[in-house]
Structure 1
Amino acid sequence: MRPLDIVVLMKIIALNDEPWQYRDLSSTLFISVSEISASLNRSMVAGLVDKEKKKVRRNALMEFIQYGLHYVFPQVPGPIVNGMKTAHSHPFYKQHFSSDLPYVWPAVDGNARGQSVEPLHKGVVKASLQDDILYKLLASIDILRVGKVREKNLAIEELKKHLL
């Protein structure tokens, strides 16, 4: 598995059973078609999508996200940068948690200043600007990578609403 595999799977979840093609994922995630294909191949081998690579095995993905993601894709917040809010600083989570310093995905034209969290793929900021559901899902994933127990519990609840 590679970090971008999670981004691809979250985009498919965000599409909410709408039909899609590799080129649709490629253009909305800013990932090449060949990378999308390789990603879905890895996800099939890992048991996270079916053999046709069209349906996400939601229970398996939720299990991986809940119990394995923070071990496979750990993150330590970095220096203060401009960027797009993520993790518990996402607008949805902001109403549940207070913090002095937000977490952000680094972006030159970002509208927030905070501690940097390396996104799972370089196209995450652009893709999240175009898709609010994907943005919330990826911010939830980041909570599992950098958050505290209470934050993680809410993120898992929210992810389950979309995945299960």
Structure 2
Amino acid sequence: MDGMKSQDLVVLLKLVSIQEGESEPTPGQPQPRSQGDDPYSVRNLEALLGISKTEINASIKRSLSSGLATKDRNTGRANPNRRNLNNFIIHGMKFVFPAKPGAMTRGIPTAFAAPMLKGLLVSGGEYIYVWPFADGHNIGQSVTPLFRSVPEAVQKDDRLYEYLSLIDAIRLGNQREAGLAGERLSESLLKK
């Protein structure tokens, strides 16, 4: 079995977002679905994330193998193991998938510049972090997203956007920033 890939986290966090959407729908934001499909289907995940069905299947296998997901006995689908996922993101993410700010570019705000995290931390830096995206409305230091389709995927799902922004805050932040992002991530992921 191949080692973990960064898109595995995108897939797992999308599954978390779908679960949360079923348990507590956000007013004004319907959970996006493909033509009546099971929201957990590989075809639906492909449409929502821009990751191929083959790669989604491989990602789910890697997540099951690593313990970041478990198989539901009744439905047979993969369920994110939220505790393990939370621990991995907080304690290992920075080392396994490090992020380095790049050149100034147009894009979608991430880390503490993301709209839902803005104001949580007053940054000493003058520049925000963005995922490069030609249709973005903000200019900032580029940060390579965990998977190339992330900028498109987060426009369809605010929960996924928040989770991936928190991950970037952990990957990019100093100890205080990463700690604050980790607390917020734990509150969201482990609330069930």
After TM superposition, the score normalised by the length of structure 1 is 0.95
Aligned match of 2:49 in 15, 20, 29? 29
Contact 2:46 2:56 in 1 (8 A): yes
Cα displacement (A) at 1:154: 1.9
The aligned residue for residue 148 of structure 2 is 122
Work out whether 1:109 is the aligned partner of 2:109: no
Map Cα deviations across residues 18-71 of structure 1 (whole Å, 9 max, x no partner). 452111111100111111000001111111111445211111111111111110
The aligned residue for residue 142 of structure 1 is 168
The aligned residue for residue 35 of structure 2 is none
The one-letter code of the counterpart of 2:17 is A
Cα displacement (A) at 1:16: 2.2
The one-letter code of the counterpart of 1:115 is Q
Cα displacement (A) at 1:97: 2.1
The aligned residue for residue 13 of structure 1 is 16
Kindly name which structure, 1 or 2, has the bigger radius of gyration based on alpha carbons.
2
Count how many residue pairs are aligned between Structure 1 and Structure 2. Answer: 164
Cα displacement (A) at 1:135: 0.3
Identity of aligned residues (%): 42
Give secondary structure in 1 for the equivalent of 2:116. helix
CA RMSD of aligned residues (A): 1.3
Contact 1:41 1:53 in 2 (8 A): no
The aligned residue for residue 155 of structure 1 is 181
Q: Which has the higher helix share?
A: 1
Give secondary structure in 1 for the equivalent of 2:160. helix
The aligned residue for residue 91 of structure 2 is 67
Alpha-carbon distance between aligned partners in 2 of 1:159 and 1:12, rounded to the nearest angstrom: 15
Unaligned runs of 5+ in 1: none
Contact 2:64 2:78 in 1 (8 A): no
Alpha-carbon distance between aligned partners in 2 of 1:82 and 1:49, rounded to the nearest angstrom: 35
The one-letter code of the counterpart of 1:79 is A
Give secondary structure in 2 for the equivalent of 1:92. coil
The one-letter code of the counterpart of 2:53 is V
User: Higher relative CO (CA 8 A, sep ≥ 6), structure 1 or 2?
Assistant: 1
Cα displacement (A) at 1:105: 0.1
Cα displacement (A) at 1:72: 0.3
The aligned residue for residue 76 of structure 1 is 100
The one-letter code of the counterpart of 2:57 is S
The one-letter code of the counterpart of 1:90 is A
Unaligned runs of 5+ in 2: 23-38
The aligned residue for residue 41 of structure 1 is 61
Give secondary structure in 2 for the equivalent of 1:20. coil
Runs of 4+ in 1 over 2 A off after TM superposition: 16-19
Give secondary structure in 1 for the equivalent of 2:69. coil
